[in-house]
Structure 1
Amino acid sequence: MATVEDVRSQLAARLLGQIKDSVATLHVTDLDITENGRSFTAVFDLDAPDGRWRVTLESDRADMNIFNGTPDAQLVDAVASGFRIRLAEWWHTKGAERASARQGKRLD
């Protein structure tokens, strides 16, 4: 079984750095993972066009497979891709949707 640190290391290799979409570039500077039974939480520190943020995203239940043994690269890529998409969605909806707004906290 993979540890929280194993999962963090595997995801960090794919998530730290720039996440670009058609409107903005987010720069992920740190990632923390917390296991919560049948799910896990990913906490991202990032630089965005309007400042520094800490964004908390819950995993999908299927993403927990990343903790089973040594996950293959395709699974880790898929989980990381899902988080990249959700970070971009957060960025675009944080000003209009309460649920998105609650996921992020401005750091400066």
Structure 2
Amino acid sequence: MALADPVRRAIVARLSRGDATVNELAEPFAITKQAVSKHIQVLEHAGLVTRSRDAQRRPVHLDAAALEELTAWIDQYRLIAESRFRRLDALLETIENTEEKKEEEQ
């Protein structure tokens, strides 16, 4: 998945504040500009970012709509997972209470 890598997540976070060039995106990382370019390509293939030409600059843009769609998809699974964890918590509490009652009866 495009956002599985911490560098790509950091790039998306930076782009959420505004467009940036590859050079600007590469500044905080101890990796080559070529490596940052490859990360951007992964994000492009995922539809999360686009590039354009502005004279000599080639700024990278975050596609906010695509990111919102991805976030909504993730939220669905987060809600399902939270529901399962609540049910598991309830089951574990029931088991714990049952064991405590057994110990008290002995």
Larger relative contact order (CA 8 Å, sep ≥ 6): 1
TM-score normalised by structure 1 residue count: 0.25
Task: Identify the structure with the greater strand proportion.
Answer: 1
Q: Which protein has the larger Cα radius of gyration, Structure 1 or Structure 2?
A: 2
Which structure shows the higher helix fraction? 2
Give the TM-score taking structure 2 as reference length: 0.26
